Structure 1
Amino acid sequence: MPGFFVTGNLYRPKKITGKVPGILCPHGHWPNGRFYDMGEQAVKQAIIIGAERFENGGRSPLQARCVQLARMGCIVFHYDMLGYADSRQLSFELVHRFAKQRPEANDPQQWGLFSPQAESRLQSVMGLQTYNSIRSLDFLLSLPEVDPQRIGVTGASGGGTQTMILSAIDDRVAVSVPCVMVSTAMQGGCTCENACLLRIDTGNVEFAALFAPKPLAMTAADDWTREMRTKGFPELKALYTLLGAPDNVALFDFTHFKHNYNHVSRAHMYLWMNRHLKLGLPEPILERDYNRLTARELTVWDEKHPPPPGGFDFERQLLQWWDADARKQLDELVPMNRRELNEYRRVVGGAIDIMVGRRLPDAKQIEFEDTLKEDRGDYFLIGGLLKNAAWRTANPVLFLHPKIWNGQVVLWLDQSGKQVLFAGDQPAPQARRLLKAGFAVAGIDLLYQGEFLPDGKPLARTRKVDNPREAAAYTFGYNHTVFASRVHDVLTMLSFCRHHEFEPEAIHVLAGPKTAEIAAAARAQSADTVRSLAVHTGGFRFANVADIFSPDFWPGGAKYHDIEGLFALGAPGDTWIAGERSLPVVEAIYKAAGARRRLVLARSADDSWLGDAIDWIIDRAEIAD
């Protein structure tokens, strides 16, 4: 990222022969970060309780571990977390204390971090901080003396989070020691440790498990990790045993100390690094005192190297560059032929799969509890609850089933829910048209539609977790958005219809404004279940959602070609779209799939689109027959 700097200090052994291990040290949330100095009185108290050994060196546990690892023969890079020490381009208050949405940062053209525009592009401080960790590793590996096969990472608290995440996603790490962080309890309290989508149905123990079977050691203290011995570590031990490496995982359990990376914990880390980086040093390994450096001596900025620009203007420029770079890469993925189409589906489809979080469910987990069945002359009216036991959901649904059935189903999605099928107590005119053409017509109340609304008022803002800070990640890092939940509801309905005992020949989906994007996402996640999709988008774009608690908010929704990416993943299926002048990405992908004629960009007026869409569905059914 041009103009965005990673800052830190490099520690090197005085004598280097051949290749030596490299170790990254992210510092965590200690006051002043890399410049941390606990002071005279605090270090004396730490010595009394056995947490530190030296009055001078013990004042900075962060420097102490870097010095000792260098004395052990490793090259160590101690780098800043965002907002700490020399990394001030994004302020400490923004990165670690963000609490209130900023109107000036909620701008569709020049947005800032934590805004709905940033979140819809998956731009977060945790993402930036993790990127800094990756770049720090790149830097370490660029040094000619560093052995790329012997790379370690260790940090505590927030530095433990970075250790755990980097080790999970970067295969170059060989040994990992995240301290006082991995647990089944608190997962990371700072905004820099949270991101939308990150911990839905998962958590830090599973992140740590991604490093298996490589050497992983952790520490526990009298904090949220105090129960790790019985909750979390047994499961990690079982995994390592299953993978044939039971001795490659360890928990150093020092719960008589408060939250720390003290000398006792560090001493056990040194042993772990010694053994698994094959340093060959005699054990035990104890620290010696050292000449602790001051902040003035540690800083990387001086008159010859002044600090780079920062602040709000820089923040917005950084996000603009990030967005432009992502768009450029995605645009280059738009295929020209079927071979390239597979790569687009892998990248964009893989992202959408994670963002939606669920696919077409197994029919065995779905149950229909019928509460209504009426013979209405030429059709049956059937109603009830569609339950998905595994997902713990239940949706009110209605079916209009003609007595002379053509074997096909139209699922009609609308912001009013299943009530769209009726005008008073009779089928709505367009529903009646479908019945006469032989289609079964289905309607569903998605989450917070229809019967979910006792007062009948549409949902204006979604629920959030009990946290006063207005960062989307605190709610949507652990819970699905309303948008994603509604997509899940549609997937349940599609699976039920597809696997129904009547064995329908085809399923079509019809959706208007406020539900077109839901329909497109569900189709993208349901393989070939939907034969045809007919929608009016109303010009919807996730990039235009201006509230992180809007029912339409979806983290990442704007990043992968926005709504166009969802339609594109439906290729080569039959698709009819109104409300759009052009969709170049969708058109290009249908052309690459050899199915351009199966995509219709309708010029229907807003008051006639529904009839035109139903005409098209009826025509497509007849062509298929």
Structure 2
Amino acid sequence: MVTAQPADARLGPLVHLRQHEFLFDPPASVLEWQERADQVRRRVKVAAGLWPAPPHKTPNAVVHGRVDRDAYTVEKVYLESYPGHFVTGNLYRPKGAEGQRPGVLCPYGHWPGGRFQSWDDDELERQLASGAERYEVGGRRPIQARCVQLARMGCVVFVYDMLGYGDSQQIAFASVHQPSQDTIVDSPTNWGFYSTQAELRMQSPLGVQTFNSQCALDWLASLPDVDPKRIGVTGGSSGATQTLMLGAVDPRPAVSFPVVMVSTAMQGGCGCENACGLRVGTGNVELAALFAPKPLGMASADDWTRECITKGFPELQRLYTLLGKPDRVMLASLTQFPHNYNYASRAAMYPWMNRWLKIGAPEPIVERDFVPLSDAQMHVWDAEHPAPPAGPEVEQELLRTIDAISQEQLASLAPHDSAGLAEFRRVVGGAFEVLLAWEKPKATQIEFQEAQSANHPDYRQRTGAVRSNLNGARLSTVVLEPKDSHGDVVLWVHSDGEQGIRDGAGGLLPGVQRLLDCGVAVVAADLLYQGEPLTETRMVDERWPVAPLTYGYNRTVLAQRASDVLTLAAAARKLYAPGAKVHVISTGGSAPYVAAAGAIGGDLIDSIAIDTQGFRFVDLRSWRDPQFLPGAVKYGDLPALLALGAPRRLLLGGEGAEAPPLVRDAYSATNAQAEVSMLDGDAFSTGAAAWLLETHP
């Protein structure tokens, strides 16, 4: 029987990066902001696949092909970030500079030609006529112009390629920036970016580019002529996204200047600017705020950043004022120009870097002409420095390498004592807290709205809806209360929702009846999208059919169902006496979200009986599967979720005669091996009820 779903706010439109306002409301106190910043920073690291941080290789860069100019030199650079994967770019150095100089990292965005950008005559004429550019040479080659001027000011500048641009051709442009069913490789053993297997491991172009930025920073900071305490970062468009990401995950940059990306509107339309979980409950203004109280300069244009002067910047000013540094945030509102990193934006950036990096260049700072580099003078690869292998196999090998690093880190976190379990909970539990994004409701935010009640010979049946004012959930619910209740309650969770307590003839299952006979109440509900079949989850309407554009902004169905289980647990505790115990019996394919609820639910749940049916996230074949949870494989799959519940009493079915090793490790670490029981056989629900009554008489 299909039951009518109650009005649930989550059934409304999905959050869309182009159709949603990503507002930032600064906290009222410094302590609140510090706590919030830690949460958001962890979210960025988890989303980027950098929680825990991968090991950084020694920055053994190859530097060659020096070109000598009037006040600066330019060299070709490549360095290894992940094994076999290279960051490429050009290093600009001031001539005649003494001592350690400030350094500036220059990531760039989706500009035509990337590092080799050169406007044609028609575009250059438009740029000059509008005042967007001032000089012909710099106007034609704005990325070179930025680097040249910073070097002339006395900075050591590294401009490096984003994936698929410039000399970074190991992974194809289309695989990163124009993904389609034709470019995405998705199989259990060979997978590329945007595949189900990559998302299950938090592997994304955004993550690789962010790690590349960190490795570029490692190298720049290691140069003998660079002061590692005076390093700035600036980029425009998706180069600004990379600027924001580096500032969020790494404490070393001293000054930041993202251009045309800090906005309450569109957050970054390419898959490479998004990652699953990245902007759930946050946005670019708050991501920029993570840089506070260090100097943050910005520029906006006549694009999605046009309203930053009234939406976003005032909130950043409030935060910096709260932190006692009101002069360290600035916005150049240049809405007379379209999307850009033009002369006007650069002219706002130079004095900001000059001031806060203590460069000492005389002001006003005005660009002047320079002799541009040819493509050959910029290209890193040549006969003596041949380009590394490229193609789909290289992309797949990179992701296998990253996976191997992650699995080695996970193995090192297997808990063997109380300290090890605490670290496992901090890292793995901290990751699942981000990916599940559950906020514990207050008692006043949960209520059971009863619609009708009916008396049966040995129990009373109450039907209605559990309502959460915190997340808008409305769960069609049935409560079975025995006549002689001793206060405990079982949440009976099944993929069929509230119908999961009944057999094919409409009667109660034997296990349910036995619980009632022994004085235990039973609660069942339709979790999100239950009560009707759901074989494929919704996705946002975007040109690229990739998970980050949906789940970068929205929680997964599994995460919301896990929240529903915890909402029911909170409601049960409110319905019954404070001393009542709340247990969960999970059958019928509900194991993934019940295990997730148990991992993050703390003391809301006293014990869990769960029939896993051998489920593993790694076996999923689509990110639109309702059981999909990004990062689940990276962080230990279903066994890790179960392990995080230690030392809570646990009955496992579907796993054979012995619990998974990670579960055994976690329970042994707390000397709670006896709290784990195994149950084989088809009649799990009946056996689970018996186990529960034996262990909680």
TM-score, length of structure 2 as denominator length: 0.86
Match of 2:292 among 197, 206, 212: 212
Structure 2 partner of 1:80: 161
Match of 1:481 among 552, 556, 562: 556
Structure 2 partner of 1:267: 347
Aligned pair count reads 613
Structure 2 partner of 1:174: 254
The whole-number CA distance in structure 2 between the counterparts of 1:65 and 1:383 is: 67
SS of match in other structure, 2:227: strand
Structure 1 partner of 2:653: 578
Aligned pairs (5 A) from 1:81-230 = 81-100=162-181, 105-230=185-310
Quote the offset at 1:504 in angstroms.
4.7
Quote the offset at 1:501 in angstroms.
4.7
The whole-number CA distance in structure 2 between the counterparts of 1:308 and 1:179 is: 32
Residues 179 and 261 of structure 1 are in contact (CA less than 8 Å); yes or no, is this contact kept in structure 2? yes
The whole-number CA distance in structure 1 between the counterparts of 2:182 and 2:199 is: 12
Match of 1:253 among 321, 333, 345: 333
Match of 1:238 among 318, 321, 337: 318
Deviates more, 1:157-166 or 1:575-584: 575-584
Structure 2 partner of 1:375: 455
Structure 2 partner of 1:49: 130
Deviates more, 1:154-163 or 1:415-424: 415-424
Aligned pairs (5 A) from 1:56-67 = 56-67=137-148
Quote the offset at 1:116 in angstroms.
0.6
Matched, 1:352 2:435: no
Residues 121 and 556 of structure 1 are in contact (CA less than 8 Å); yes or no, is this contact kept in structure 2? yes
Residues 23 and 76 of structure 1 are in contact (CA less than 8 Å); yes or no, is this contact kept in structure 2? yes
Structure 1 partner of 2:575: 500
SS of match in other structure, 1:371: strand
Structure 1 partner of 2:69: none
Structure 1 partner of 2:117: 36
The whole-number CA distance in structure 2 between the counterparts of 1:389 and 1:573 is: 28
The whole-number CA distance in structure 2 between the counterparts of 1:618 and 1:341 is: 29
The whole-number CA distance in structure 2 between the counterparts of 1:262 and 1:33 is: 15
Residues 359 and 526 of structure 1 are in contact (CA less than 8 Å); yes or no, is this contact kept in structure 2? no
Residues 175 and 183 of structure 2 are in contact (CA less than 8 Å); yes or no, is this contact kept in structure 1? no
Structure 1 partner of 2:39: none
**Residues 354-413 of structure 1: CA distance to partner in whole angstroms, max 9, x if unpaired?**
000014322211121110212213211011111111201100011111121122111010
Matched, 1:25 2:102: no
SS of match in other structure, 1:6: strand
Residues 271 and 544 of structure 2 are in contact (CA less than 8 Å); yes or no, is this contact kept in structure 1? no
Q: Which amino acid aligns with 2:457?
A: G
SS of match in other structure, 1:466: coil
Matched, 1:472 2:554: no
Quote the offset at 1:113 in angstroms.
1.3
The whole-number CA distance in structure 2 between the counterparts of 1:146 and 1:566 is: 45
Structure 2 partner of 1:328: 408
SS of match in other structure, 1:499: helix
Structure 1 partner of 2:50: none
Gap regions ≥5 residues in structure 1: none
The whole-number CA distance in structure 2 between the counterparts of 1:358 and 1:12 is: 48
Q: Which amino acid aligns with 2:539?
A: K
Structure 2 partner of 1:527: 602
**Residues 500-549 of structure 1: CA distance to partner in whole angstroms, max 9, x if unpaired?**
35335211110024211111111111112211111110111111110111
Quote the offset at 1:425 in angstroms.
5.1
Q: Which amino acid aligns with 1:53?
A: R
Structure 1 partner of 2:359: 279
Matched, 1:596 2:682: no
**Residues 469-488 of structure 1: CA distance to partner in whole angstroms, max 9, x if unpaired?**
21111111111111111111
Deviates more, 1:374-383 or 1:126-135: 374-383
The whole-number CA distance in structure 2 between the counterparts of 1:2 and 1:222 is: 41
The whole-number CA distance in structure 2 between the counterparts of 1:566 and 1:130 is: 28
SS of match in other structure, 1:597: helix
SS of match in other structure, 1:231: coil
Matched, 1:10 2:91: yes
- Indicate the RMSD between aligned Cα atoms, in angstroms: 1.3
The whole-number CA distance in structure 1 between the counterparts of 2:315 and 2:182 is: 39
The whole-number CA distance in structure 2 between the counterparts of 1:538 and 1:505 is: 29
SS of match in other structure, 2:603: coil
Aligned pairs (5 A) from 1:502-517 = 502-517=577-592
Residues 102 and 115 of structure 1 are in contact (CA less than 8 Å); yes or no, is this contact kept in structure 2? no
Distance 1:95 1:590, change over 3 A: same
Quote the offset at 1:608 in angstroms.
2.1
The whole-number CA distance in structure 1 between the counterparts of 2:370 and 2:236 is: 21
SS of match in other structure, 2:462: strand
SS of match in other structure, 1:368: strand
Match of 2:492 among 405, 408, 412: 412
**Residues 14-45 of structure 1: CA distance to partner in whole angstroms, max 9, x if unpaired?**
02211111110001111110010012332233
Aligned pairs (5 A) from 1:374-393 = 374-393=454-473
Gap regions ≥5 residues in structure 2: 1-81
The whole-number CA distance in structure 1 between the counterparts of 2:589 and 2:285 is: 38
Q: Which amino acid aligns with 2:610?
A: V
SS of match in other structure, 2:585: strand
Q: Which amino acid aligns with 1:466?
A: D
Matched, 1:439 2:520: yes
Structure 2 partner of 1:430: 511
Quote the offset at 1:47 in angstroms.
1.8
Q: Which amino acid aligns with 2:117?
A: Y
The whole-number CA distance in structure 2 between the counterparts of 1:317 and 1:174 is: 35
SS of match in other structure, 1:575: strand
The whole-number CA distance in structure 1 between the counterparts of 2:544 and 2:269 is: 11
**Residues 426-455 of structure 1: CA distance to partner in whole angstroms, max 9, x if unpaired?**
4322211110111101101011112xx2xx
The whole-number CA distance in structure 2 between the counterparts of 1:119 and 1:504 is: 41
Q: Which amino acid aligns with 2:551?
A: F
Quote the offset at 1:280 in angstroms.
2.2
The whole-number CA distance in structure 1 between the counterparts of 2:189 and 2:612 is: 22
**Residues 133-166 of structure 1: CA distance to partner in whole angstroms, max 9, x if unpaired?**
1111111111112111111000000101101111
Quote the offset at 1:102 in angstroms.
5.4
Structure 2 partner of 1:538: 613
Match of 1:307 among 383, 387, 405: 387
Residues 592 and 627 of structure 2 are in contact (CA less than 8 Å); yes or no, is this contact kept in structure 1? no
